[in-house]
Amino acid sequence: MKAFEVIHPGIYTMIQDLGRPGFMKYGVPASGVSDTFAAKIGNRLVGNQPGAALLEILLFRLELLALDDLIIAVTGGDLSPTIHRTPLPMWQAVSIRKGDRLIFKGRKKGFRAFLAVRGGFEGPKFLGSRSVFARGLMGEPLKAGQILERENEILGPPSPRGLPPEMIPDYQTKEPIRVMLGPQEDRFTPQGVETFLSSQYKVSPQSDRMGYRLEGPKIEHVKGADIISESIARGAIQVPLDGNPIIMLWDAQVSGGYTKIATVISADLDRLAQVMPGDQLRFQPVSMEEAHRALREETERLQRAEKSILG
C-alpha cells in the first residue's frame, strides 16, 4: 500500500526501526532509531508495534506527498511540520488526506523528528531489520521521486488522545550528559580526567550517527592514545592522541584501538539524538548503581507515556 511520494528528500532522511542487535560479532553495528522514546511513542500513537519502521528526519526540508488517506504521528524534535501552511500538531495521531503535502520547514527544538505512519513503513530488511546503514550496504537515505510503501502490521486502534504535554521530553535541557568513567580512565592524567569532567564541549559539524566529534579543551593522556583494538560499546567516548573526545553512537564501528575515557549511560543516549552540531555538552560522572537507576527511571517514563496514550 502506497503511503508517500518523496518530493524533497531532506538532509539525510532514512527508514529506521529498532535496529539489528546481535550482529556485532560479525562487525555489524546495531543501528536503529536514535531517540527510542520518540520513535516508540510515535508508533504507539498510530496503533503500531513500538518497533515498526518509521522515518528519522534531520533538521528541515523534507517534503512528502500523501498518496492515500493516512494516519500519521510526528514526534521527537520540533522541525515545524506543516500541511498546507498549517502547523501539524506533534505527539498525537493525525489523519491526513490523499494529496496533502507534509513539509518540515525548519528546526525549532531538538534535531531529529520521527514520522510514524499507521501500518509502519515498508523497506528492505537486512539481518532482520529495516534500519538503513548505507556504509554497510544496507539501504540508502530517501531520494526525490521515491515511493514509500506501508506495511500492515497494526497492533491496535490509533490513540484517541495525544501524549500529555508534561510527558513530552525537554529537548532544550542543559543538564549534563551522565557518564561512567572507564574502561581506560587510567590512561589519562588526573588533570586530563578533570579537564573532561569540568569543561564544555562543542559538537563539531563532522558528527553523524557513527559518532559525535567534540571540540574543547584537550584531554591529556599519560602516554599515547593507542590500545590493542577491542570492542566499543554504544556511548563510549574515545580520545585519540589529539585530545578531542568522540562519542561513539548508533552506527559506530564495533571495534577500535583508541583509549576510552568514559561511556555515556544508556538512559542518556536518547538525549544525544536531539543534540546538533554547534550545541554545547558537559559531562557528569555517575556510579554504576546510579546508571542502572537512571535506566529504570527511563523505562518507567516510557511505560507511563505508553499507558497514558493507550488509556
Partner 1 sequence: MIEFENRIDPGINLAVRSLGAAIEAEKIQGVGEVLPTYRALLVTYDPLQIEYRDLIGKIQSCMGKARQIELPPRRLFRLPTVYGGPYGPDMQRVCELTRLSEEEVIRIYSEARYLVYFIGFICGLAYLGGLPEKLRVPRLPTPRTLVPAGSVGFAGGQANAIATDQPSGFNYIGRTFVTLYDPREFPPIPFVAGDEVIFPPVSEAEALKAKGRRAEDFR
Selected from 84, 98, 108, 135, the binder of partner 1 by CB under 8 A is 135
User: What grid cell was written down for 291?
Assistant: 546508571
Q: Which of 167, 197, 295, 310 binds partner 1 (CB under 8 A)?
A: 295
Q: Is 101 in the site for partner 1 (CB under 8 A)?
A: no
Q: In whole angstroms, what is the distance from residue 236 CA to residue 188 CA?
A: 15
| Closest CB 167 distance from partner 1, rounded Å | 20
Contact flag: residue 155 with partner 1 (CB under 8 A): no
The correct pick among 24, 65, 276, 310 for binding partner 1 (CB under 8 A) is 24
**Of residues 208-247, which lie at the interface with partner 1 (CB under 8 A)?**
228-231, 233
> Which of 74, 86, 80, 85 has the alpha carbon at shortest distance from 105?
80
Using the structure block, give the residue that is written with the C-alpha cell 563539531: 204
In a 13 Å sphere around the CA of 248, the CA atoms on its Cβ side amount to 23
Question: Are residues 21 and 233 in contact, defined by beta-carbon separation less than 8 angstroms?
Answer: no
- Of 206, 255, 287, 303, which one interacts with partner 1 (CB under 8 A)? 255
Query: Counting contacts by CB under 8 A, is residue 28 touching partner 1?
Result: yes
User: Total residues at the site for partner 1 (CB under 8 A)?
Assistant: 31
Question: Which parts of 36-75 interact with partner 1 (CB under 8 A)?
Answer: none
Kindly tell me which of 14 and 28 has the beta carbon lying closer to partner 1. Answer: 28
Print burial letters for 200-235: b (CB count within 10 Å at least 16), e (below 16). ebebeeebbbbbbbbebebbbbeeebeeeeeebebb
**What does the alpha-carbon distance between residue 295 and residue 264 come to, in Å, rounded to a whole number?**
12
Nearer to partner 1, 29 or 216 (CB): 29
Q: Are 195 and 221 in contact (CB under 8 A)?
A: no
The number of CA neighbours under 13 Å toward the Cβ of 210 is 14
Give the range of 43-51, 154-162, 253-261, 271-279 binding partner 1 by CB under 8 A: 253-261
* Rounded Cα distance, 72 and 291, in Å: 34
Burial class (CB in 10 A: 0-12, 13-18, 19+), 185: middle
Q: What's the min distance (Å) between Cβ of 300 and partner 1?
A: 10
**166 or 228: whose CB is closer to partner 1?**
228
Cell output for 165: 504535554
Question: CB under 8 A: which stretch of 31-39, 69-77, 187-195, 294-302 binds partner 1?
Answer: 294-302
Q: Which is nearer to partner 1, 164 or 182 (CB)?
A: 182
| Listed ranges 49-57, 60-68, 165-173, 295-303: which one lies at the site for partner 1 (CB under 8 A) | 295-303
- Give whichever of 138 and 275 is closer to partner 1, judged by the CB atom: 138
- Binding region for partner 1 (CB under 8 A): 21-29, 126-127, 135-138, 183, 228-231, 233, 253-256, 288, 291-292, 295-296, 299
